[in-house]
Amino acid sequence: MEIRVDGRRISAFAGESLAVALAAEGILHLRASPQAGTPRGMFCMMGVCQECVIRVDGRAVNACQEPVRDGMTVISGTLK
């Protein structure tokens, strides 16, 4: 399947999480830290740390808990 990330089309496999699909493409900057705005990315990979929060189709989701869906639109690095 195909997803769109920051305007770029990337391939993903059914059944994988968004975090894994992004990492496979080298996209590791998923959100920004609240105060310094420094890049943050996946850490626990089990829905606990919230470091992977990212915007998907207008919603804030944990990338490690979000299954990929064909046509989903992702905006990385903007949420704090």
| Residues in contact with ligand FES by the rule CB under 6 A | 42-45, 47-52, 62, 64
Cβ distance to ligand FES smaller for residue 7 or 26 = 26
Most distant pair of Cα atoms in the chain: their distance: 36
* Residue 7 φ then ψ, to 5°: 85, 0
Identify the CA nearest to 21 among candidates 6, 37, 5: 5
Shortest approach of ligand FES to residue 9 CB, angstroms? 23
Of 42 and 74, the one with the shorter C-beta distance to ligand FES is 42
d(CA 43, CA 26): 15
Q: Nearer Cβ to ligand FES, position 64 or 72?
A: 64
Residue 77 Cβ, how far from ligand FES at the closest point, in Å? 15
Minimum distance of ligand FES from residue 61's CB (angstroms): 9
Cα–Cα distance for residue pair 48/61, rounded to 1 Å: 12
